[in-house]
Structure 1
Amino acid sequence: MMAMIPFPDMSPEIFSINLFGMTFALRWYALAYIVGIIIGWRIVVRAVSRDDLWAKGKPVMTKAQVEDLLFWVILGVILGGRLGYVFFYQASYYLSNPLQILRIWEGGMSFHGGAIGVILAGLYYTRRHKISPLSTGDMVCLGLAPGLFLGRVANFINAELWGRPTDLPWGVAFPTVAAQTCPEVVGICARHPSQLYEALLEGLILGALLVYLAWRRGGLKYQGLICGTFLAGYGIARFIVEFVRQPDAQFVSPGNPLGLAWHVGGYGLTMGQLLCLPMIAVGAALIVRARRLA
């Protein structure tokens, strides 16, 4: 019998209550967003409280400005994440059913879309208050890793965004019908727990690296270094995990079983990998620029 890990008996909902004939539930995914934002906010507040971490001993923002910016970051995450999912992954469906775009509670968020939303929100805020956009980007990126870690763990609890079939001993038997529909697999299908791979790479390892650079290597003194490291680090981590992550169903077809968004002769890249390439390029450029100005 093939070794595999049974899926833990956990509900996506922490608890639910019925009020006035309607059911209201607190889901792990929502809690991950809330706790991730709070932890990230506290990391950033601690950073701007330390004058010695910044060039010329002057933080890019005050604590009050950080709290003001937080509203715009949350707005960018929600609007950008939803619209990114709509246009990057299921544009034809949502253009035919535009009212479905508003049904965020049913799921469907894109990290890359959320990143674009945060960038646009940050540019608006920094231009309005005449603050350095690159240093603000460093500050924001410093606080993103906890949310990424918790969000990916919540994806695992929700039994969503799982990986491709595997015979490795840590393969997980996800309980959904879609997860158990594996071509050429007889019996229970084990899949890569790609959500946990991403939690480890994008959350724990990348987050630890950013904190190390900021607190031990003076990374916040060089505009764009933390932001560039985050963009390149996330892009590389996601690019790697995409090799074992199951692509969205709309990209899979009999002639394209790997779900490649771009391919030639059976070789190509998934949509996630295509979206990571500009992140890696921009991140690398910011790192080179910061080091040249050091």
Structure 2
Amino acid sequence: MKEASYYAPTGGLPPQTQLLTGRAVFTEAYAVIPKGVYSDIVTSFLPFWDQTRLWVIARPLSGFAETFSQYIVEVAPGGGSDKPELDPEAQGVLFVVEGELAVTLDGQTHVLVPGGYAYLPPGSQWRVRNPTGTMTRFHWVRKAYERVEGLPLPDPIFANEREIAPSPMPETDGKWATTRFVDPADLRHDMHVTIVTLQPGAVIPFAETHVMEHGLYVLEGKAVYRLNQDWVEVEAGDFMWLRAFCPQACYAGGPSNFRYLLYKDVNRHMKLRRAI
């Protein structure tokens, strides 16, 4: 089987001769952030991180996607942080797309390579470094953990997608499958970050319309994706951001697999009152 590839942005600036026409779009139901917008002038920096910059591709917005943030983080050799997360209620998922990332938790260091995944529960005292001589790039998905009386916190998880067999969707002959890092029956978790793979010609054959917010970062390939009432072409490096109940479907046209890193919020009652 062909080894998975992962698109990672490198920054830079477009030339002055480039046309302004692009594929970026922000609507009341969804947003598309194409890979061409990951330039040097839209990067951000964080306290207590050194030799590091990041692209913020999702953040809570009132009336839109409200539950999560997602960064593409670029760490130079030797860079990282001894105090990466400042919110004690924030849980995090790290997913490495390029280079190596050393994550230290409870005195034990785990080195993540491309395809590497880490789940870090709220309140975790973790550190992170790039131990190599080349750039490391990874996704960092953050969500405020919704505690439930009687349910303990989830355990930390360190894994690599290459070691996990994808779960095929029923009646698709394996052409549509999901790589899961968390047991869907484990109700301690209030978010899932998975990898969805559609082989060339595979489809999501109906307009999914459901309560979960979605963040979809295209790791590999290209497809035509249905977002609300629009069909949008997307490719490796693009990010799609869907609010709750935004209809979605997909046609993977090939020639390679179409794969994306998927965030969704799960397993909790709907909030009936806004925080004051």
TM-score clears 0.5: no
Q: Which is higher, the Rg of structure 1 or of structure 2? A: 1
Specify which structure has the higher proportion of helix: 1
Specify which structure has the higher proportion of strand: 2
Using the size of structure 2 for normalisation, the TM-score is 0.30
Using the size of structure 1 for normalisation, the TM-score is 0.28
